[in-house]
Structure 1
Amino acid sequence: MVWIKFIVTAALIVLAANQLAKYGDVIAIRTRLSGMFIGVLLLAGATSLPEVLTSISSLQQNTPNLAAGNLLGSNTFNMFLLAVLDMANHNQRILRKALLKHALTGSLAMVMIGMVAFFMLANLDLSIGWVGVDSLLILGFYVVAVRIIQGNAAPAPQTQEEDLPVDGKLPSLRAGLIGFGLAAAALVVVTPIMVESANEIAVLTGLGTTFIGTTLVALVTSLPELVTTLAAAKIGATDMAIGNLFGSNMFNMFAVGLTDMFFTQGRFLAAIDPSFLLVAMLGLLMTGIGVVGNLAKLEKKLWVIELDALALILLYFGGMYLLYLRG
C-alpha cells in the first residue's frame, strides 16, 4: 500500500511540475526574456520547487536527512541528466554546443556546493535567531550569483523558443501566471503525502532516510528537470536545457539555506548526517565535469556517448553504490 501511495503521489508531483515548467515557458515567451536567463532562473526555480517543498515537508515530519538527501542528491541527478541529454542528442555534440555560455553558471553552482560542503565540515556554531550564519551566507551568495549572471548575460541571438509567434494559440501572460500558481498549489498539497510515504519506505526497507532521500526522493523531485530538459532540447533550446540543469544545482544549494529557515531545532547543516559530505562532494565533482564538458574540445566518443558524459554516468552510479554500502 505504501508503494502505491508513493508512486501515485510521485506521478502527481511530476505532472504538476511539468505544468509548472509549461507555464514558465509561457511567461518566458510573453515577457521575452532570454532563453539562458529563463533556464537559469525561472525554469530552474520552477522545476526545483518540488525539492524545496519536499525538504520543508521532511522537516515538518522530523526527518532532516530526507531533506538533505533530496537537495544534495538532486545535484548529482541533474548532472546525470546532462549525460542523458547527450545520449538523446547523439547526432549533435550537445555538451560542446553551449560553449562558454554556461561556464559561469556551472562555476557558480560549484562554488555554492563547495560552500555547503565546507560549512558541513567547519560546523560553525553561529546563529542569528534560529537560523545558522552558514545558511545566511549561502542565501546571500545566491543573490550575488544571480546578479553576476544577469550582469554577464549579453544579448544573445534569439533562440527558437523565443522566435515562436505570440498569437492566439499561446496562452496570455495572465493565463500563464494563473496556471503557474495553480500547479505550485497542487505541489504544496501533494508533496507532504509523498514525503510521508518515503519515510515509511525507508523504515520498511531498512535503507534509512539518508539513502532513500538521496536516491528515490531525489529521483522523483528531479523528474521534472528530465522532462523539461529533453523537451527544451527537442525544440533546439539547448541554452534553456543546459541552463536549467546548472541553474537547478544553484537553486538546490539556495534551498539548503532556505530550509534552515524552517528548521527551528538548531542549525540545519549541523543536524544532518555526516555521510552527506560524500553526496555533496559527488555533486561538486559531477558539476565540475559538466563545466569541463562545456569548455574542453574533446572529440572522442565511445559509441554514441561522449567521454565526459560517460564519466558522469559512471560517477553517479558509483557514488550511489558507495552511499548504499555506507548505509
Structure 2
Amino acid sequence: MIWVTFFVSAAIVVVAAQKLAQYGDVIAIRTRLGGMFIGTLLLAAATSLPELLTTISAINQTVPDLAAGNIFGSCMFNMFMLGVLDLVVRRGRILRVVLRNHAISGGLAVLLGSLSVFFILAKLPWAVGWIGLDSLTLIAVYVGGVWLLNSNNPGISAEAELDAGQAGLPSLTWSIAGFLVATGVLVVVTPWLVSSSKGIAEATGISTGFVGAALVAIVTSLPELVTTIAAARIGAFDLAIGNLFGSNCFNIFALGLTDFFYTQGTFLADIDSTMTLAAVLGVTLTALGLFGNVARIERRLLFIEVDALLIFVLYGLGMWLLYTRGLMA
C-alpha cells in the first residue's frame, strides 16, 4: 500500500507540476521577460515548487533529512539532465550555443550550494527569532543574484509578445488561474508523497536522507526534465539551460525558506552532517555544467560531450555512495 500511495501521488505531482511549468512559461512571455530570465527565474521556480512543498511537508512530518535529501538530490538530478540534453539534442552542442550569461546563474547555484554545505557543517547558533541567520543569508544571496540576473536580462520585445498571442497561447488571466489551481493540487498531494516516502524508508531500512535524494528528488525533478527537453526540442536552448541552473538556485533558496516552517530550532544546524555528501555532489555537478557553458571545449567521445560524460559518471558514483551511506544509516 505504501508503494501504491507513492506512485499515485508521484504521478499526480508530475502532471500538476507540468501544468504549473506551462502556465508559468506563458505568464513570463505575457509579461515580456527574456528567454534566459524566464528559464532561470520563473520557469525554474514553477518547476521547483514541488521540491519546496515536499520539503515543507517533510518538516511538518519531522523528517528533516528527507527534506534536505530532496533538495540536494534534486540539484544533482538537474545537472544529470544536462547530460541527457546532450543525448537528446543531436544537431548542436547545447552548452556551446547558449548565452554566456548563464555563467551568472550557474555561478550563483555553486555559491548557494557551497554556502549551504558550510552552514550545515558549521552549526551556527545565531538566529532572528526562530529563523537561523544562515537561512536568512541564503535567502539574501538568492535575492541579490536574481537582481543581478534581472539587470543582465535583455527582455522580450512587444513584437515577440504579439507573436506569442498569434501562436494561440492562453491569456495572462487564464494562465494565472491555471497556475494557482496546479499549485493547490501540489499543496494537497505532496504530504502523501512525503508520508509514503517515509514509510518506504522505514520498511526497507534505508535512511530517509537517501530516499529523499533518490526517490523523492527524482520524482519532484521530473517536471524539470519534461520541460527542459521540450524546450530543447524546439530550439529554446537558453530556456532549457536557464531552467536547470535556475532550479538549483531556487532549491537552495527553498532550503533557507523552509526554516520559516521549522520551529524545533535552526533548520540547517539540525540537518545531519552526512547529508553534506549530497550537497557537495550537487555543487560539483553544477560546477561541471558551468565549466561546460564557459569553456566551450569542442570535444566529443563518440556521441557525447566530455563534460556531459563526466556529469553522468559523477552522478552515478555519487548515487552509489549515497546508497551505501543510506544502508549504513
Counterpart position of 1:300: 299
Q: What is the percent sequence identity of the aligned residues?
A: 54
Counterpart position of 1:128: 128
Distance 1:164 1:85 in 2: 27
Please state whether the residue corresponding to 1:33 is helix, strand or coil: coil
Distance 2:110 2:242 in 1: 14
Q: Is 1:262 the counterpart of 2:261 in the alignment?
A: yes
Please state whether the residue corresponding to 1:62 is helix, strand or coil: coil
Counterpart code for 2:222: L
Normalising by structure 1, report the TM-score.
0.96
Counterpart position of 1:100: 100
Counterpart position of 1:36: 36
Distance 1:155 1:225 in 2: 22
Counterpart code for 2:58: S
Written as runs of structure 1 = structure 2, the 5 A alignment for 1:157-306 is 164-167=163-166, 169-306=168-305
CA 1:165 to 1:47, structure 2 compared with 1: closer, same or farther past 3 Å? closer
**TM-aligned CA deviation for residue 32 of structure 1:** 2.0
CA 1:40 to 1:6, structure 2 compared with 1: closer, same or farther past 3 Å? same
Query: Are the equivalent residues in 2 in contact too, given 1:29–1:166 (CA < 8 A)?
Result: no
CA 1:30 to 1:99, structure 2 compared with 1: closer, same or farther past 3 Å? closer
The farther-off stretch of 212-221 and 32-41 is 32-41
Counterpart position of 2:114: 114
CA 1:204 to 1:163, structure 2 compared with 1: closer, same or farther past 3 Å? farther
Query: Are the equivalent residues in 2 in contact too, given 1:99–1:295 (CA < 8 A)?
Result: no
Counterpart code for 1:66: L
**TM-aligned CA deviation for residue 231 of structure 1:** 0.8
Counterpart code for 1:25: D
Counterpart code for 2:23: Y
Distance 1:221 1:323 in 2: 18
Counterpart position of 1:67: 67
Query: Are the equivalent residues in 2 in contact too, given 1:34–1:162 (CA < 8 A)?
Result: no
Counterpart position of 1:52: 52
**TM-aligned CA deviation for residue 193 of structure 1:** 0.5
Counterpart position of 1:148: 148
Distance 1:313 1:189 in 2: 34
Counterpart code for 2:52: V
Distance 1:301 1:16 in 2: 37
Please state whether the residue corresponding to 2:273 is helix, strand or coil: coil
**TM-aligned CA deviation for residue 103 of structure 1:** 0.6
Query: Are the equivalent residues in 2 in contact too, given 1:35–1:162 (CA < 8 A)?
Result: no
Please state whether the residue corresponding to 2:100 is helix, strand or coil: coil
Query: Are the equivalent residues in 1 in contact too, given 2:98–2:237 (CA < 8 A)?
Result: yes
**TM-aligned CA deviation for residue 36 of structure 1:** 0.7
Unaligned runs of 5+ in 1: none
Counterpart position of 1:7: 7
Distance 2:151 2:320 in 1: 40
Query: Are the equivalent residues in 2 in contact too, given 1:73–1:218 (CA < 8 A)?
Result: yes
Normalising by structure 2, report the TM-score.
0.96
Distance 1:28 1:232 in 2: 14
Distance 1:306 1:138 in 2: 33
Distance 1:158 1:289 in 2: 36
1:38-65 deviation per Cα after TM superposition (whole angstroms, max 9, x unaligned): 1111100000000000000001111001
Query: Are the equivalent residues in 2 in contact too, given 1:230–1:241 (CA < 8 A)?
Result: yes
Counterpart position of 2:19: 19
Distance 2:215 2:268 in 1: 21
The farther-off stretch of 265-274 and 167-176 is 167-176
1:56-109 deviation per Cα after TM superposition (whole angstroms, max 9, x unaligned): 000111100110000111110000011101110123101111141201110011
Distance 1:297 1:25 in 2: 28
Distance 1:208 1:15 in 2: 28
Counterpart code for 1:59: I
Counterpart code for 1:272: I
CA 1:99 to 1:157, structure 2 compared with 1: closer, same or farther past 3 Å? farther
1:160-195 deviation per Cα after TM superposition (whole angstroms, max 9, x unaligned): x86744138321110000000000000000110111
Please state whether the residue corresponding to 1:166 is helix, strand or coil: helix
Counterpart code for 1:97: V
Counterpart code for 1:72: F
